[in-house]
Structure 1
Amino acid sequence: MKNILLVCSAGMSTSLLVSKMQRAAKENSLDCNIWAVSQSEAEANWEKADILLLGPQVRFLQSKMKTMVNGKIPIAVIDVLTYGRVDGQAVLNQAIKIIDEFQNTK
């Protein structure tokens, strides 16, 4: 199971993206738990995740989030065009690739 956490400013702008990512995971028979939270809820949720993806509108939080997770999980910013297109498959692919690379370095 891959646990993918998306963080945005209010936790709502990523809800459609989460739905599309969940659909893509199901279509590809991937076992994934995907959810979105606001930046204020990230601290209470990151330990349940294998990756933390930041919406482009909160990319400024990247260094703060890296400090918070202290290298325990990878953090990445979702590409602005992919985010704008609400391309669930592309974001899912990005997340899985980063998780796999991170786990292979351990």
Structure 2
Amino acid sequence: MTKTIMLACAGGMSTSLLVTKMRKAAEKRNIDVYIFATASAAISEEAQRHNLAVILLGPQISFQYDNIVNEVDVPVDVIDMKDYGTMNGDKVLSFALSKIS
């Protein structure tokens, strides 16, 4: 069954590049996931529209963590700043998968 991973940042733009790199990493590793990016303002709406396995936040919106955790019923975590800055899709994919039970 396909697991859905949502990445969120201030506007959804910087995480879009990371999504592309994560998708390539998943394809190389033959992992069945659907990964997409959204803006922080749309997290609740997107969480209702998708059957999410995990939500990963860009470091720039880590201050919203507590609010988001209280709004959704899925694991939420913040992407490591170094992995985010280097757009390390493979490491962020592994991190996301480690959060999925």
1:17 match: 18
1:53 match: 56
2:78 match: 77
For 1:46 and 1:28, the matched residues in 2 are separated by 26
For 1:21 and 1:46, the matched residues in 2 are separated by 20
For 1:73 and 1:15, the matched residues in 2 are separated by 21
**What is the RMSD of the two structures over their aligned residues, measured on CA atoms?**
0.7
Q: Deviations over 1:2-50 (max 9, x none)?
A: 1000010001011110000000000111111000000111111124211
Q: How does 1:1-106 map to 2 (within 5 A)?
A: 1-47=2-48, 48=50, 49-69=52-72, 72-99=73-100, 103=101
Tell me the TM-score normalised to structure 2 length: 0.94
Tell me the TM-score normalised to structure 1 length: 0.90
For 1:13 and 1:46, the matched residues in 2 are separated by 19
For 1:22 and 1:31, the matched residues in 2 are separated by 10
Letter in 2 for 1:18: V
SS at match of 1:6: strand
| Percentage of matched positions with identical amino acids | 38
Letter in 1 for 2:83: T
SS at match of 1:13: helix
Letter in 1 for 2:30: S
